[in-house]
């Protein structure tokens, strides 16, 4: 399939936030009120992304256990970003959703630093090139 065959307009592919739902709640606690930190963060992200064009998926273990809580932001034909060291709270979820919206608006997935929400600065773990 050639580049011209993609049905979504360039820069408009579906951006997905993947939240690790097995991340510990904190360095000292795996669970808080019976839930992992990843489950709590996922609930906040799902709630905040509900009225957007973003998709949210849960994944058991993104293998960033030393940097919990972890998320990945990806879309077909765009750069993928892995972020970590988030506290499982609304503030972190707001920053993740805001960054994902800017990723969705970007043709390549790259968001200029000056447009990063403050809450994602210092949380980037990896940038992965697209396969296409």
| pLDDT at 62 exceeding the cut of 70 | yes
Q: Please state whether the predicted TM-score (pTM) of the whole model is above 0.85.
A: yes
Average pLDDT over residues 5-9: 37
For the chain, the straight-line distance linking the first and the last C-alpha, in angstroms and rounded, comes to 10
Q: How is the chain split into domains, by residue range?
A: 15-128
| Closest listed residue to residue 82, CA positions, set 105, 98, 104, 99 | 99
Question: Averaged over 53-67, what is the pLDDT?
Answer: 96
Q: What is the rounded average pLDDT of the residues 77-83?
A: 98
**Average pLDDT over the chain, rounded to whole?**
91
At CA 29, angle to CA 27 and CA 34, rounded to 5?
145
**3-class SS of residue 131:** coil
Query: What pLDDT, on a 0 to 100 scale, did the predictor assign at position 4?
Result: 36
CATH classification number, 15-128, choose in 3.40.630.30, 2.130.10.10, 3.40.30.10, 3.40.50.150: 3.40.30.10
């Amino acid at each position: 399939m050639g580049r011209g065959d993609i049905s979504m307009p360039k820069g408009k592919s579906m951006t997905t936030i993947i939240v690790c739902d097995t991340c510990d709640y904190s360095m000292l606690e795996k669970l808080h009120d019976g839930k992992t930190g990843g489950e709590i963060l996922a609930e906040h992200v799902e709630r905040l992304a509900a009225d957007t064009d973003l998709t949210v998926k849960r994944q058991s273990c993104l293998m960033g256990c030393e940097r919990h809580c972890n998320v990945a932001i990806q879309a077909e034909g765009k750069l993928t970003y892995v972020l970590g060291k988030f506290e499982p709270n609304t503030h972190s979820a707001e920053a993740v959703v805001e960054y994902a919206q800017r990723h969705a608006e970007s043709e390549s997935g790259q968001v200029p630093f000056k447009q990063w929400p403050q809450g994602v600065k210092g949380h980037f773990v990896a940038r992965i090139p697209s396969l296409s």
